[in-house]
Amino acid sequence: MERLHWVRHRCRQLLAGGSGRGWYSAPDGLPGKTSLDTHSSPRRASGKQRTVFARHGPPQQGFEAVSTSYEGNAICTTKYSLLTFIPMNLFQQFHRAANLYFLFLVLLNWVPVVEAFQKEITMIPLVVVLTVIAIKDALEDYRRYLFDRKINSNVVQVFCGEQKAYVDQCWKDVRVGDFVRLSCNDIIPADMLLLYSSDPRRVCYIDTANLDGETNLKQRQVVSDLPLQGEEFTAERFHCRVECEKPNNDLCRFRGYMEHPGGVRVGLHNGNLLLRSCTIRNTETVVGMVIYAGHETKAMMNNSGPRYKRSQLEKRLNTDVLWCVLLLIIMCLTAAVGHGLWLKNLKDPVFQVDTDTSPALAGFYVFWTMIIVLQVLIPISLYVSIEIVKLGQIYFIHHDLALYNEQLDCRIQCRALNITEDLGQIQYLFSDKTGTLTENKMVFRRCSIYGVEYPHEENARRLEVYEAEKMEAAGCSVTLKLGCSGRSLSGRSLSCKHSSVSLHTVTEEEEEEEEEDQPSNHIQHRTSAFCSRMTKEVVPDPELVRKLNWFCSPMLALSDGSSGTPSSLELTYITDFFLALAICNSVVVSSPSQPRHVVPETRTPLKSLEEIKLMFQRLSFSPLSALSSLSPPQIKGSPRSFTSRLFARGKTDTFTFSTPTNSTTDGSEPGRESNQETSNLRREVHSSSRVESGGDAEQMEDRETDDYIEGARTNPEGARQEVEGLTGDVDCERATDDELLYEAESPDEAALVHAAHAYRCTLRGRSAESLLVDLPGIGSLAVQLLHILPFDSNRKKMSVVVRHPLTGQVVVYTKGADSVIMDLTETPKGSEQAREIYSLIREQTQNHLDGYAREGLRTLCIAKKVLEEEEYEVWLKGQLLAESSIEHREELLLEAAQRLETNLTLLGTTGIVDRLQEEVPDTIEALQRAGIKVWILTGDKKETAINIAYACKLLCPNDQLLTASCGSKDACAALLEELKLEVQRGVDGLTGDPGESSSGGVGGFVLVLDGRTLDWALQEEPRSDFLELSRRCKAVICCRSTPLQKSKVVRLIRDQLGVMTLAVGDGANDVSMIQVADVGVGICGQEGMQAVMSSDFAVSRFKHLRKLLLVHGHWCYSRLANMILYFIYKNVMYVNLLFWYQFFCGFSGSVMTNAWVLILFNLIFTSVPPLIYGVLDRDTAAHTLMELPELYREVQTSEVYAPYMFWITVLDAFYQSLICFFVPYFAFRGSSVSELSFGSPINASALLIVLLHQVIESHTLTWIHVLVLVLSGGSYFGFVLLFSLFCVTCSPPTNPVGVETLEMSQPLFYIVCALTTVTALLPRLLFRALYNTLHPSAVLEPARMDKVDSEKYRRKMQRWNLSRSRDNRLRLCADHPGLEPSTASVVS
């Protein structure tokens, strides 16, 4: 019935005419895809902008004027219609050179004067190929049709102008300008502008897993300054006009503005756009207006199909095919000349000869006849065979158990289907660091604030405990509880078909945590991205806790009295620092029990006014000026005004969040001091600040503080109990705090927010305009969020602009790379003492940054800036102009951000630990031993990158480090020249290339460059020195590199050195590098799926590269190379049999066999064995290739398929054809056998020689090989016997009846076949025996070890299946049928 409906649909489509369906409407710029619908082509839209009116709004004329230029929402990805299938499919198939070649031979054979066979026989190869491909294309197109019909039939609520209500419509009926209403868990049918959300904060959340694979929720907000805010959206009252950019495939960009009837324009951005295929989450109702529909949506414009790349092996094959063409022409010319000479010298022929045709013209005719006869010399069918073999190779790679991540339930993904052999020729590997070599599971390790370093020693010990637990559990099998996870995030991931959890969140610790913390009321908990136990449970530093506790309680003094109380300036820095950690991000706050990310309605009132006054008195800060008004006057020059920067402004009465209970510090140890250097700096900075303040108030504060210190000295136990009392309350409130879930876009953000939470600076809620933050000692504060300047790779920082609820000031909080932030900080205006203090803070912070980098920590600097109202208003005008611009919007926004992010005040820095992935050092060491040069391209600091390089064995103790850091182009050129000479001097004392030295051999040179130097090195003049220097180095580390620099480096090495490159990364910043490289590998990690979606292969761990390259890359290349050589040998050998016969038939183009056998010999009888050979052959066992990476160099240097191997193969084929022809010739010489009887033993011998030649060349012989060989031989003898029994007129003018039966009944036939086969194969057999004798380590030893490995693997699979059967979970074999033990054992 489905097929009947499909036929009916196509017929209706043709009758309707001009509908455009049946063709794939591709996005702009994609070749080969057109559209018949002239009214729906996106190219019809004139200009660079798109105007959208509401479909049922008042400006109907405007809507009708522009709506005809835009596509409908129906999608049609099919290529053909019912009547156009045959002509369209034939047209596309004849774009292939192979089919054109076959068509040319068919047409040539129809010319009577050059006819070689029956016309029908020469059509057989072409008809078979066209039919098989047509059936495949028809099935694929039918599946696409079913999918399109299912999508187009989805129902959505669309506003109907006639009924004044929302009615159900199919997706295909939605048009640009329609108002669409969606509910929670609905899929968005088109790209829509968000106009209404039932969320009181006017936001909604979407899951983009169907679009980009990212499983963390994204927040979208209603267009700002819309009329009717806070009311139910009414479509009839919407009179605005939307101007936006034309459809494009950029998922992260949307530019435009909405113009109100009064002429007011409101800028539109990507945060206002709901993209097709995404899912509404945690929001009851949203209403949007369709902007892009159908094939103009961003999702459809990104649907470009599988990636296509041409492998290096195919390029070399093209050269060999040209040599085969040359051989064919030479053989045909020889026959033509020979026939002409034979006719010219022929005297008194005893048989009929056409004497009317001149010898020259007859030779010309024979030339084309021989082209038909010797057609199989051109291995056109080899291209089809290669595609089939690659599919088989990908199948076994995809089902390799060693490349399966059991924890994530995902396997390797092969996205590029035609470059598997390139995995065996990689010479340069370019790797990102974070998330590729490391876990990208960021954990807060330590920090520096106000120039004082807080080592967080207890936190370090906690990480060591986690590491030890992980190592202990490494031997245990950890499986996901498939199908029973209560997490609400969708788990559309890398080949993950059963997991409902986010790739960001799956950790071993979380599984244990979920089992332990399952609530008794069976409420399913939901976790969020980057919130493992290790990330969340930050142990605060005792010294920092003590200072914050002093800030919170007026009765708390120091426990040991070693130094005075912290100054008000230092407390200002500390609180600002943690406030920035909490709010300078895009983290979405939620809780398991709240589906809309709203904080529960339990709250504790803000601290009383008297408490806040007492606290400010202790800070020498006037509480009246802070609380009297929302915009209090600031006394310029007053020392207290500097302290007042502790807070930022906002209107607390306009915030809609409830205020939950405050929390106190968890797990701290008050009284512990930091190291002596830190204490001295703190005392120095504190004393300087006190001198600066001066006055009676400070003296009274000092006397009060002295009393507290004296009390602590006389009664230390009482002070300690008081601290414990302050920190003990966290146990009773921890359940409430831990229920907060943070949806972070990056692990860095999550780590910093959890660190701030550990110090009781907790982000509790977020809306589009406000933030709810708990501050220690104050409680919950509503912070008005004015602007978010998101992170980008150019600025390398992120900023938020807020208005503080207490001081009323506009404050900019910034976090970013230290190389950027440190350059943007300024020395504050004021006294000499203040400038000295700030210089000291900068100096100490820089020292701490360098120390963090040497430890391998990721560093971020935190800074702030207080804006005057006039300054903010001026900046705001430029920002609004940039936001409402369509042209050059990104450039204007960048300029506005750079104007704001200047003259910053440095608060401190953070050090975040990111552990190496397991087996990374062993993997890099193996790759280097295999002759692959590994480069690290990272945006981190130089010291961090060097530390990681040592940890992963890229750098060894005996390596010499070359550092290049220059400030100008001339200095860079001079330094590169000097380093090149230094490397040359080092090479003179060594043998071989230093770049080839392994980690265990002689030390090599490792080059380290920063981003600025790399810019100079990539320019025209220094480029040659940089290439020569890097070529001689063992490895290169590029620090502070941007995504553009990464791609430039890969392109430079690939093009200038002519080497095979592989780029591996895990984030969006690695996409350009991955796409430029010959082979791109994406790591399915914590940074979403952009890298995976842009890659050729996707793996879950860096360690998988070892087996992917050293084993599968080696196998794929050697298999394909040997199969190509065998294919060429087979064709040349059989064609030469026909060529030798021409010397005995006057070069007339006659053959000694019937045409059916001639055509089917390559098409059927010998076609399958090469395919099995190319898929299953293993020249070396997997275990041996893993243990001896040096074997990779054999395929890396193309020794298997070197140019000379082609000619050796051709010469071997010539020799075997001579034996195969002349042994039967001398055996039957002088007899009266017919030409068909003479050809029978030749064909049989040729078949046996070809099949047994493959047996000799094969390194693996299984029952599959034997079965295929037997079937191939049996099919030939069965066919010729039946042919000779029943076919009388099948091959005119010859009569094959009884020929084969007569020949096979005579002993001479078998003697000739045996003698011919042995004589032809004897040299090849002797050569193989001699080669194996001289190279036992490459063949015999692996063969011996393979038997041991097979037994080990069999026992491993038995234990694995036994452990799986004990669990109440599905076996892997049941979930993935391809992972059967019998099948997997073939590839592993």
Question: Higher pLDDT residue, 987 or 737?
Answer: 987
Q: What angle do CA 911, 912, 913 make, to 5 degrees?
A: 125
pLDDT tens sequence across 435-477: 788 887 788 889 999 999 999 888 778 777 766 666 555 444 3
Could you list the beta-strand ranges (E) of 767-857: 770-775, 779-789, 797-803, 810-816
pLDDT of 1344 higher than 70:
no
Residue 1111 · residue 1092 · CB < 8 Å: no
pLDDT tens sequence across 320-379: 888 888 999 999 999 999 988 888 887 776 566 666 778 888 889 889 988 888 888 887
Q: How confident is the prediction for the chain on average, in pLDDT?
A: 75
What's the pLDDT score for residue 662? Answer: 36
pLDDT of 756 higher than 90:
yes
Phi-psi region of 193 (alpha: psi -120 to 50; beta: other; left: phi over 0): beta
pLDDT of 863 higher than 90:
yes
Lookup result for tokens 């490995």: 1349
Q: How far is residue 424's CA from residue 1186's CA, in Å, rounded to a whole number? A: 13
Beta bridge mates, 863: 814, 906
Catalytic residue at 432? yes
Q: Are strands 428-431 and 933-937 parallel, antiparallel or unpaired?
A: parallel
Q: Beta-carbon neighbour count of residue 676 at 10 Å?
A: 9
Q: Is 187 exposed, middle or buried (0-12, 13-18, 19+ CB in 10 A)?
A: middle
3-state helix, strand, coil in the chain (%, to 5): 50, 15, 35
Nearest one of 958, 961, 1032, 959 to 995, comparing CA atoms: 1032
pLDDT of 17 higher than 90:
no
pLDDT of 1213 higher than 90:
yes
pLDDT tens sequence across 869-880: 999 999 999 998
What's the pLDDT score for residue 1346? Answer: 57
Confidence label for 60 from pLDDT (cuts 50, 70 and 90): low
pLDDT tens sequence across 156-168: 999 988 888 899 9
Residue 725 · residue 552 · CB < 8 Å: no
Confidence label for 59 from pLDDT (cuts 50, 70 and 90): low
Percent of the chain with pLDDT over 70: 71
Distance from chain centroid for Cα 1229 = 67
Beta bridge mates, 913: 443
pLDDT tens sequence across 645-665: 333 333 333 333 333 333 333
pLDDT of 1269 higher than 80:
yes
Report for 43-47, 303-307, 530-534, 1045-1049: range of highest mean pLDDT: 1045-1049
pLDDT of 638 higher than 90:
no
pLDDT tens sequence across 398-439: 888 888 888 777 888 888 777 888 899 999 999 988 878 888
Collapsing DSSP to helix, strand or coil, 302 comes out as coil
What's the pLDDT score for residue 1113? Answer: 92
Length of the chain: 1388
pLDDT of 1088 higher than 70:
no
In this prediction, residues 768-775 reach a mean pLDDT of: 86
Which tokens belong to 100? Answer: 């054109």
In this prediction, residues 1086-1113 reach a mean pLDDT of: 85
At position 93, the amino acid (one-letter code) is: Q
Distance from chain centroid for Cα 1102 = 13
Residue 1141 · residue 1153 · CB < 8 Å: no
What's the pLDDT score for residue 261? Answer: 84
Report the C-alpha dihedral over residues 1314, 1316, 1320, 1322, rounded to 10 degrees. Answer: 40
pLDDT tens sequence across 885-921: 877 878 888 899 999 999 999 999 999 888 788 889 9
Confidence label for 742 from pLDDT (cuts 50, 70 and 90): confident
In this prediction, residues 1199-1222 reach a mean pLDDT of: 88
pLDDT tens sequence across 666-714: 333 333 333 443 444 444 444 433 333 333 433 433 433 343 334 333 3
Distant-in-sequence, close-in-space partners of 148: CB < 8 Å, separation ≥ 6: 75, 76, 77, 78
What's the pLDDT score for residue 58? Answer: 62
pLDDT of 533 higher than 80:
no
pLDDT tens sequence across 1308-1326: 989 999 999 999 999 888 8
- Concatenating the DSSP letter of every residue in 598-652 gives ---S---PPPPHHHHHHHHHHTT--HHHHHS-SS----TT-HHHHHGGGS-B--G
Q: How far is residue 1385's CA from residue 1363's CA, in Å, rounded to a whole number? A: 18
Q: Beta-carbon neighbour count of residue 979 at 10 Å?
A: 20
What's the pLDDT score for residue 798? Answer: 93
Residue 1377 · residue 395 · CB < 8 Å: no
Q: How far is residue 1380's CA from residue 1385's CA, in Å, rounded to a whole number? A: 8
Confidence label for 479 from pLDDT (cuts 50, 70 and 90): very low
Q: How far is residue 788's CA from residue 764's CA, in Å, rounded to a whole number? A: 18
Return the minimum-mean-pLDDT range out of 245-254, 542-551, 778-787, 1359-1368: 1359-1368
Which tokens belong to 1149? Answer: 């183009």
Q: What angle do CA 186, 191, 192 make, to 5 degrees?
A: 80
Report for 380-389, 1124-1133, 1153-1162, 1199-1208: range of highest mean pLDDT: 1124-1133
Element (H, E) at 1097: strand 1097-1099
Q: Which of 178, 212, 422, 432 is catalytic?
A: 432
